[in-house]
Each structure stands twice: as structure tokens, then as C-alpha cells.
Amino acid sequence: MTAAGAALDRVGPKQGWLAHRHIGLHTALIVLMIIWAIPTLGLFINSFRPATDAFGTGWWSALFPPYNFTFENYEHVLGQSNIGTNFLNSLFISIPATVIPIFVAAFAAYAFSWMEFPGRNILFVVVVGLLVVPLQATLIPVLSMFASWGIAGTFLAVWLAHTAYGLPFAIYLLRNFMGSLPREVFESAAIDGASSVTSFFRLALPMSVPAIAALAIFQFLFVWNDLLVALIYISIVNPDNLPLTVSIAGLMTSQGAGTEFLGAAAFISMALPLIVFFGLQRFFVRGIVGGAVKG
């Protein structure tokens, strides 16, 4: 028996076992995915049905004749007078409120991972500890602070609020990622005379792209779907700056009618985050660290 044959013998059964295991895993994943997607599918189908049908019968009954689909719900949602402005406002709120916290968190995460300074661990624990502060508890003090600064109702107020709300988690996630980057990379850079700033921009930042992409999605979705923060910090002073979620919430009347439009509204509001997700998806799989250190 040659060495190669022995190697095949060793690999063969293992591969078969792996493949077998993958079939089970894939089946489980597919089943879970279908279960997970069914409510969304139901919502999607219902968003094309007239209110009486949608509330009277299950969404699956729409799949059988007589077919009764309509674009009325979408027309109603898109026909709201201020929906265009609110969509732009949503973008104008979400993009800076995603970029700013990630940028600040990246600096902080680098410092927490690779810079030595007194009290580093305690400071990090305090920052992570802020994760437990419920957002609602901060509304009143923060609003009165914004009021005294004269920025209540401005975009700046929501950017700052979302930055602050997003930072503890962003720092925690990025610190863990940057902390796991190979120490040798930074040591060699230091030997070559790179400053901390250079190491951050030339090494830490590009190598953390997968984590930053994941974080960007979390933060963008959080801000995009936010209703409460915008309502409290903006609506009282300047309703012109309100985001899309407020138009959607407004589809329901004070008596609780109008829920038939919410499905359509959900899909309109979902469209952009989906684009963002698929746009950033390739960054997840790109492993930059691989090959950075030659053994």
C-alpha cells in the first residue's frame, strides 16, 4: 500500500461521513428556513389582498381560485402625501446614524485591543455595562439635554442619540474582533516604524471589514426600523424631519382601523434594508485575515 493509498483510506470514510452529516444539517436548515419564512410569505401575500379577504380567510386561501389580488394597499401607502419626504428623512437619519457610531466604535475598539493605558479594562467593562441601560429610561433626561442645547427636533439630535445607543454594542463587537487579530501583524508594523494611527488605518480597519459590515447591518436596521427615538426627539418640535416609520404607524387610525395597509407598508419599508443586506453580504464571507501571517 502506497502512502497515497493510505491517505485515501484515511480520508475516504471521513469525507463520506461528513457528506452524510451535511445532508442532515442541510435538511434541518431548509426546514427551519421554510418555517421561518412562512409568516413573511403570508404577510406578503396578504399585502396584495383586499382587507375583507385578508382578515376573513387565511392567506393560503389566496393561492387557490378565485384569485382576488389588488394593488390598492400599496397604492394607499404610496399615496400618502408626505411619504417621499419621510423616506428621504429615513435615509438622512439612518446613514449618518450608522456611520458615526461605527467610526467611533472602531477607534475605541482599537484602543481597547492594542493600546496600553491605565484603567483600560475597567473602562471597557463600564462601556459594555452600558448595554443593560434600557433605551426608554434615557428618553426624558436626553430630551431635556437636547432641549437645553436647542437641538431637539433636528437630525443632529437623533444622530447623537442613535450613536450613543449603538456605541456599547458596537465597541463590544469590534473589540472582540480586533482583539483576535494576530498580534504579530501589529508587532511587525511597529518594528517597521508604524504609529498607532497608521496601524489602525492600514491594518486594523481593513482587517475588520467583516465585523464592520455585520455591525453596519445591525445598526442600520435598528435605526431604519426605529419609531420611538424619532417620535420623542423629533416629532414634538419639527414633524417635517420625521422618518418613514412614522408614516407607516400613521396608517392606522386612532380607532385602530387601517391594519390592512401595514403589510404593504412593511414590504415597502423592508425593500431598502434588504438591498443594504445583499449589498454588504459579500463582506461577511471575505476573510481578510487569512494569509496575513505567513507561518
Can residue 18 be called a binding residue for another protein (CB under 8 A)?
no
Rounded Cα gap, residues 200 and 186, in angstroms = 9
Query: Least Å distance between CB 36 and another protein?
Result: 24
CB 47 within 8 Å of CB 263 = yes
Can residue 215 be called a binding residue for another protein (CB under 8 A)?
no
Query: Least Å distance between CB 184 and another protein?
Result: 22
Can residue 270 be called a binding residue for another protein (CB under 8 A)?
no
Query: Least Å distance between CB 176 and another protein?
Result: 22
Rounded Cα gap, residues 62 and 249, in angstroms = 26
Can residue 240 be called a binding residue for another protein (CB under 8 A)?
yes
Work out which of 85, 135, 225, 250 binds another protein, going by CB under 8 A: 250
Work out which of 259, 279, 282, 287 binds another protein, going by CB under 8 A: 259
Q: Three cell numbers at 121?
A: 479594562
Instruction: Compare residues 13 and 134 and give the one whose CB is closer to another protein.
Output: 134
CA 122 from chain centre, in angstroms, equals: 28
Query: Least Å distance between CB 107 and another protein?
Result: 10
Query: Least Å distance between CB 216 and another protein?
Result: 14
Kindly give the residue spans of alpha helices, DSSP state H, lying in the chain.
3-46, 51-56, 72-78, 83-114, 120-129, 135-149, 155-179, 183-191, 196-198, 205-207, 209-224, 228-230, 244-249, 260-285
From residue 161, alpha-carbon distances to 4, 7, 110, 183, 234 in Å are 62, 59, 23, 35, 11
Instruction: Compare residues 103 and 128 and give the one whose CB is closer to another protein.
Output: 103
Rounded Cα gap, residues 73 and 217, in angstroms = 28
Query: Least Å distance between CB 171 and another protein?
Result: 17
Rounded Cα gap, residues 235 and 153, in angstroms = 7
# residues near another protein by CB under 8 A:
51
Q: Which stretch binds another protein (CB under 8 A): 17-25, 114-122, 126-134, 247-255?
A: 247-255
Residues that bind another protein (CB under 8 A): 51-52, 55-56, 80, 96, 99-100, 103, 139-140, 143-144, 146-147, 150-156, 159, 197-198, 201-202, 227-228, 231-232, 235-242, 246, 249-259
